[in-house]
Amino acid sequence: MAKRALDVRRAMRLVNHGPVVLVSCRHENKSNIITLAWTSPVSAEPPMVAVAVAPSRFSHGLIAESGEFVVNVPASGLLNAVWYCGTVSGRELDKFGGAGLSEAPASSVQTPLVAECFAHLECRVSASHSVGDHTLFAGEIVAASAENEAFDGQLTLKRPYITLHHLGGHEFVTAAGKRLTAK
Ligand SMILES: Cc1cc2nc3c(=O)[nH]c(=O)nc-3n(C[C@H](O)[C@H](O)[C@H](O)COP(=O)(O)O)c2cc1C
């Protein structure tokens, strides 16, 4: 089998396809949503996830100031909202309204959940590190919830709870193997 050298800037796309998430954030009555592909579990005890957010994003300031964020997991049917929240800025727009998404109260943080997503990790920032051109916010998961049909200790991946994975650019694939292109 022949292998070829890759442009290292593109090579990270080989491990890019964890589920794309909608991260909600809120500070001083301003709520926002940012689409993120770069997320990872980073600690089992305490349970923690990390999100990589560029300082230029409006959401970066909201997360840094509030010390909170919520990782919301969208099903593949939310592709248009995922693309919208990843291509416009909350500096100028109300992304909840613009994406047709609704705020729902979280149980343990002030930041709202994105109601249309099927699962939510409520996080409090416990560490942040500048890494290259992004900030890694590590958040302790202080509460979590999911649709019964979507998660029974593991993702069920039963329709309609099929996760969406970003391949790079406009290209996505669902956990059911269907290629989708965002417009
Ligand atoms: C599929 C997808 C994945 C993205 N992943 C990230 C990411 O992991 N980190 C990041 O900082 N920006 C990421 N972005 C870009 C932000 O979502 C985008 O710049 C957004 O408009 C920022 O919104 P804000 O200014 O309201 O915070 C992604 C965009 C898309 C479409």
Tokens in use for 116?
Answer: 């249309």
Mutation pick for ligand 1 pocket among 32, 35, 39 (CB with most ligand atoms within 8 Å) = 35
CA 115 to ligand 1 centroid distance, Å:
20
pTM for the whole thing? 0.97
Residue ranges with strand state E in the chain: 21-27, 30-36, 39-43, 48-53, 68-73, 103-104, 113-114, 119-131, 134-146, 164-168, 171-174, 179-181
CA 34 to ligand 1 centroid distance, Å:
6
**What pLDDT is stored for residue 162 in this prediction?**
98
Region 18-28: what's the mean pLDDT? 97
Residue-wise pLDDT for 42-95, tens only, equals 999 999 999 999 999 999 999 999 999 999 999 999 999 999 999 999 999 999
